[in-house]
Amino acid sequence: MRSADSGLGQLVWFKRDLRIHDHAPLTEAARRGPVLGLYVYEPSVVRSSEFDFCHLQFINESLAELSANLSARGGRLVIAHGEIVPVLERLRSLCQFNAIWSHEETGNDVTYRRDLAIGEWCRSHGIAWHELPQTGVVRRLRSRDGWSRIWARRMADAPLPAPATISSWDAPAGRNDSWRQHLAGLDVGILDAGALGVAGVSKPEAWHGGEANARKVLASFLDHRGVNYQREMSSPVTAFDSCSRLSPYLAWGNISMRAVHNAARDRVAELREQQAFGMPVDRRWFMSIRAFEARLRWHCHFMQKLESEPAIEFHNMMRSLDGLREAEFDESRFSAWCAGETGFPMVDASMRALHRGGWINFRMRAMLVSFAAWHLWLHWRRPAVFLARHFIDFEPGIHFSQFQMQSGTTGINALRIYSPAKQVLDHDPSGVFIRKYVPELAGIPDEFLAEPHLMPAATQKESGCVIGKDYPAPLVDHKTAWKAARERVSAFRKSAGPALKDEKKAVLARHGSRKKTGKSG
């Protein structure tokens, strides 16, 4: 069915959806008339506290492929620089368009306020702005009850194919070459970090952006890498290969959640068919894909929290816990944590691996956050901003919700205080991961990897790692910090009184999973 916008110029605004396959705004716009694609380097976004060079590099790689894919189908991608409303004003002065198509975005406060401004601009100019869902996140969700049913319905639909052809905009009457020149003046092309004032350095082990890379990564995961995903995703020794590694491609929209979910279901069907024909099938696949599908739902579940309550980017989800850590931020501890110089090998290896590649597995992320919150007693906001810059797959909804969960400020999750030494013993007892990213520890015996400060002086000298000289002594004592953290939280909760219990109910109603209650959410 063609809408009232049919035949008019359709503007497709690309944001964190840098692809042409399963792109509903592009598909719908192409059905209705000539299409112009638009991507905008917005100064407020690229200079925000969470943005980094690693994000720009991934985006630029994705934009190069997106532009080529649109051109191959007859379309065009204009890449502009400036705040979005002035860019739209300038574009509209060159050529009339009556509709903007984009995906809904659950972003940070900068993009949230930007979207409010665009909505007001569109209303004042009589322009229809069509925002279409991209994930399982539900805009203006009234209740968590039934949320997972909505998610399942969205994921069940077949992914949309890329448009075979795209009609490009013609010059407005009387404009001709002049119009094209003005449009070319708006199109700045792909800009580097220097032109945009983006800080940060390259990560030599980072994976590259683009839709083709996303599909290759997905195919390799479902073909062979993911066979033991359920068992190997927790250890950093195995996770770099056994995890899907799709998170950056989902975060920047090189591939859709629906496409990934459908591919996983298709793989299960393929394995079942092989079994039916008597072909040998590794049964680990079924457990691993089931665990992977649960993570896909988990992905949107956490994004929904920020969508439903944008302010949790800045304040505690449980406001009764305000003041728990805010007044005691230790700058020296924070700096050591950021640099991977805490004296706890698994913490330091995880941080340094992140500096090198922009990705670490979930358990190590949780340990980093837990260590900052409980051992170092740092309020979560500044560590969250720091890691946001270093995670290439930074997804605001997941990021801030998880930071609060691991820091104990949601009020609805169990306190998680990881033992860094136990993580070594459980997940890297031979030091494969640790020795790679903390080379100072390369020569120490395995039995001291978890707690190198316990090495006798003679062993330290023999191994070439003197604690306090070649590698830092621990910033804190684990047992002392663990005990003090639990005692302080317990005392704080008692001082909050009945208000804490009442607020917990409200937080649970808004953000909690409904799985245990039998309701779908």
DSSP string, 463-484: HT--BTTTBPPPSS-HHHHHHH
Q: CA 69, 70, 72 angle in degrees (round to 5)?
A: 65
**Percent over 90 (pLDDT), the chain:** 84
32-54: pLDDT as tens digits? 989 999 999 999 999 999 999 99
Report yes or no: 5 and 98 within 8 Å, Cβ to Cβ: yes
Q: What number of other Cβ atoms are within 10 A of residue 494's Cβ?
A: 9
Residue 284, judged by CB atoms within 10 A of its CB (0-12, 13-18, 19+), counts as middle
In the numeric block, the tokens 């100064």 are attached to 43
Average pLDDT, the chain: 93
Q: Spell out the CATH class of 312-517.
A: mainly alpha
Instruction: Strand 35-41: give its sheet, edge to edge.
Output: 77-81, 35-41, 10-13, 99-103, 128-132
Determine the 3-state secondary structure of 447 from DSSP. Answer: helix
Average pLDDT over residues 83-92: 94
Determine the 3-state secondary structure of 261 from DSSP.
helix
Name residue 471's beta-bridge partners: 467
| Alpha-carbon dihedral sign for residues 102, 106, 111, 114 | positive
d(CA 475, CA 82): 44
Question: What would the two tokens of residue 445 be?
Answer: 């015996």
**216 vs 220, 246, 260, 290, CA distance in Å?**
6, 10, 12, 21
Q: 323 — phi, psi (to 5°)?
A: 95, -5
* pLDDT tens readout for residues 153-170: 999 999 999 999 999 876
Task: Write the CA distances from 236 to 169, 347, 359, 491, integer angstroms.
Answer: 49, 12, 11, 35
Q: What is the CATH number of domain 211-308?
A: 1.25.40
Please, which pLDDT band fits residue 59 given cuts at 50, 70 and 90? very high
pLDDT in tens, 303-343: 999 999 999 999 999 998 999 999 999 999 999 999 999 99
Domain ranges of the chain: 211-308, 312-517
pLDDT at 1: 34
Degrees to nearest 5, angle at CA 346 with 344 and 347: 65
Q: For strand 77-81 and strand 99-103, is the pairing parallel, antiparallel, or unpaired?
A: unpaired
